């Protein structure tokens, strides 16, 4: 009499599935594993990439602003020295030769300001044309230097505000990328402990199924011998 083993022919092994999870560390290795989960993972991955690139862009803007701030700080130093020299030149006790020496020094300082207006970051000027014009189109009298200094302070304040805004945006983008990465991990990463148990259980079931099929084939062979009268 043949052995009736229910479900033997319809048995499906999960060994390959668990093996892929343990090797890749992912529970979703293709859309076939989980179509909806795979679609969600793809969207999360795209979002994470966007946030990461955005954070990098903001960091680049911060670096550019820092270069601009350094250049303007140098200009401020030059203008401060020019202010002192202008006050010094107004001293009536100085000779024309003394004043000429002072103005020569102021001319060097003014050239220093002009050179800093050409400061670049990644081949881009970091000082706006309006700021450059305001700090270079000046005479050596105290009023003109103070006007240039005021314009420079305004530009420095604007640059500082832009840096703060970019820093905030970079932090938001970075946090978004981190949170999205965590969500992606929860969506597609395998539970390694569960996968290990699943693999062990699947292998055991494979062995049982193989034994059952072998037994079924042996019983069928015995039935055939009896039908044919073969001992």
Is residue 213 classed as helix, strand or coil in its secondary structure? helix
Tell me the C-alpha distance between 156 and 109, whole Å: 19
Is residue 6 classed as helix, strand or coil in its secondary structure? coil
Total number of residues shown for the chain? 231
What confidence score (pLDDT) does residue 4 get?
47
Show me where the domains of the chain are located.
16-21+32-201
What confidence score (pLDDT) does residue 6 get?
47
Q: Of the candidates 145, 76, 147, which has an alpha carbon nearest to the alpha carbon of residue 112?
A: 76
What confidence score (pLDDT) does residue 215 get?
72
What confidence score (pLDDT) does residue 218 get?
67
What confidence score (pLDDT) does residue 135 get?
95
CATH 3.40.50.300 for the 16-21+32-201 domain, yes or no: no
pLDDT less than 50: residues of the chain = 1-7
The 10s digit of each residue's pLDDT in 37-48 is 788 888 998 999
What confidence score (pLDDT) does residue 223 get?
66
Query: How far out from the chain centre does Cα 176 lie?
Result: 10
CB atoms within 10 A of CB 173: 20
What confidence score (pLDDT) does residue 5 get?
46
Q: What is the DSSP string of 151-183?
A: HHHHHHHHHHHHHHHHHHHHHHHHHHHHHHHHH
Say if strands 120-121 and 124-125 run parallel, antiparallel, or are unpaired: antiparallel
What confidence score (pLDDT) does residue 137 get?
79
């Amino acid at each position: 009499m043949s052995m009736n083993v229910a479900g033997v022919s319809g048995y499906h092994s999960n060994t390959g599935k668990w093996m892929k999870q343990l090797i890749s560390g992912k529970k979703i290795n293709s859309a076939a594993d989980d179509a909806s989960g795979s679609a969600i993972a793809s969207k999360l991955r795209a979002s994470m990439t966007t946030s990461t690139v955005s954070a990098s862009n903001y960091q680049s803007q911060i670096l550019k602003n820092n270069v601009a701030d350094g250049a303007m700080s140098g200009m401020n130093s030059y203008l401060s020295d020019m202010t002192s020299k202008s006050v010094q030149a107004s001293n009536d006790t100085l000779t024309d030769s003394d004043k000429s020496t002072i103005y020569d020094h102021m001319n060097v300082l003014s050239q220093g300001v002009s050179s800093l207006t050409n400061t670049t970051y990644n081949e881009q000027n970091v000082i706006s044309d309006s700021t450059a014009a305001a700090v270079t189109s000046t005479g050596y009298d105290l009023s003109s230097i103070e006007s240039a200094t005021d314009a420079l302070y305004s530009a420095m304040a604007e640059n500082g505000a832009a840096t703060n805004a970019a820093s905030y945006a970079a932090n938001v983008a970075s946090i978004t990328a981190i949170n999205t990465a965590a969500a992606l991990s929860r969506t597609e990463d395998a539970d390694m402990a569960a996968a290990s148990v699943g693999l062990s259980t699947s292998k055991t079931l494979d062995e049982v199924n193989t034994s059952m099929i072998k037994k079924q084939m042996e019983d069928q062979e015995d039935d055939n011998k009896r039908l044919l009268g073969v001992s």
